[in-house]
Amino acid sequence: MHGTTLLLIEVGALLFALGMLGRLGRSIGLSPIPLYLLAGLAFGHGGLVPLSASEEFIEIGASMGVILLLVMLGLEYSAGELISNLRAAAPAGLMDALFNALPGAAFAFLLGWDWRAALVLAGITWVSSSGVIAKVLGDLGRLGNRETPVILSVLVIEDLAMAFYLPLVTAVLAGAGLIGGAKALAVAVITVLAVLVVAIRYGRQISALISARDAEALLLGVFGLTLFVAGVAEELNVSAAVGAFLVGIAISGPVAHHATEMLSPLRDLFAAVFFVFFGLSTNPADMPPVLLPALGLAVITMLTKVLTGYLAAKRVGIALPGRLRAGLALMPRGEFSIVIAGLAVASGVEPRLAPLATAYVLITVVSGPLLARLPDYEWFKTFIRRWRQPSTPAVRPLTAED
């Protein structure tokens, strides 16, 4: 069979299968991300039906998926909103980093891994999945709740922190060492600050270059600019994903609104390919030995996320039920954790990292949305009410001596 023909058959069958999996996930109230990862495991090396002709296409599609995920995230915020959120929620963001990154690093050392793998695992356990959490909040009708801005602020700080973390970890994994990592971090800080200043002062002029009325020109303009900046950022060792995120921040107003609508289908398509690619790069035979460590790490870091959300909500005066909703909603890890693990896999830093990260994300992304529903159940509300009631001492009946 001709190579191009085989490529079309494999890609077509894969995309159709992903479409069916996405529909299945939504019909049972589950994020499709774990199903895409499982599909990648089934079609990868050592899987049920290994794909060969479409490997290069899927790898390029996965890179596009990361870029589109990040630019869409950036389009959600203007530079001014980003800085305002950063100032208001900085203490919660610092607490989030300490509570959730340190357990990951400690766990890596416990497994006998080196400091580079510990740096990677710290990032994997630190960052919650913005995409999965946003969908959960929408599905549960909590977008107007008091605790929702607290959750979004934590997510924004995590996303912004990734703009500094990703270039640092990229340089370290490339063998640049601590000095090289510090240089990369300095370049990233200068680049990010320069882009933020340009976005604040000249955001309208940049957006005016792209017409919001011409759909074709809008799609080509935003997509082309994103790929161009992502490529330049990659050349400067700042990470293509960060470059795409900054493009999203720089675009604002009607252009950002229409670009979000037009790029969403592309984002969904290539993001699915990205999750499949990560599954393809993991041999299912490597999974069983890391299942128990992944489960232990998931339990620990899901509890630390609950504590993070609880304290962040308490800090702004939200009542106990809202604090628990905030903590339980922050538990799923997803796209960023996979991106970080993908960087480590490409550098070959630790062979067990990919299967551990895959199992870890699968556990949190499946159980997280289910546990987030707990505060809506009546038995859980009853339990919380009883827990909040102060214990009253038993009244001793009067005796003849009294």
What is the pTM (predicted TM-score) of this model?
0.73
Q: What is the pLDDT of residues 228-256, one digit of tens each?
A: 888 887 777 666 777 787 788 788 778 88
∠ Cα 14 136 275 (to 5°): 25
Helix axes 353-371, 33-43, angle to 10 degrees: 150
Q: Alpha-carbon distance 358 to 341, whole Å?
A: 9
Write down the H helix ranges in 281-352. 288-315, 320-329, 335-347
**Domains parsed from the chain with CATH numbers:** 78-271+284-377 (1.20.1530.20)
| Residue 121: per-residue pLDDT | 93
Are 264 and 273 a contacting pair, CB within 8 Å? no
The predicted-structure confidence for 320-362, as pLDDT tens digits, reads as follows 889 999 999 999 887 778 778 877 777 777 888 888 888 898 8
CA distance 50 to 282: 12
- Determine whether 48 is exposed, middle or buried from the number of CB atoms within 10 Å of its CB (0-12, 13-18, 19+): exposed
Q: Which helix (H) or strand (E) holds 334?
A: none
Over residues 263-291, the pLDDT tens digits come to 888 888 888 887 787 777 777 777 788 88
- List pLDDT tens digits, range 108-123: 999 998 888 899 999 9
Residue 60 has pLDDT above 70, yes or no: yes
25 pLDDT higher than 70? yes
Average pLDDT, the chain: 80
Q: CA of 274: how far to CAs of 28, 36, 193, 271, 329, in Å?
A: 23, 9, 29, 5, 24
Confidence of residue 184 (pLDDT cuts 50, 70, 90): low
User: Is residue 141's pLDDT more than 60?
Assistant: yes
What pLDDT, on the 0 to 100 scale, is given for residue 261?
Answer: 85
Residue range 42-55: average pLDDT? Answer: 72
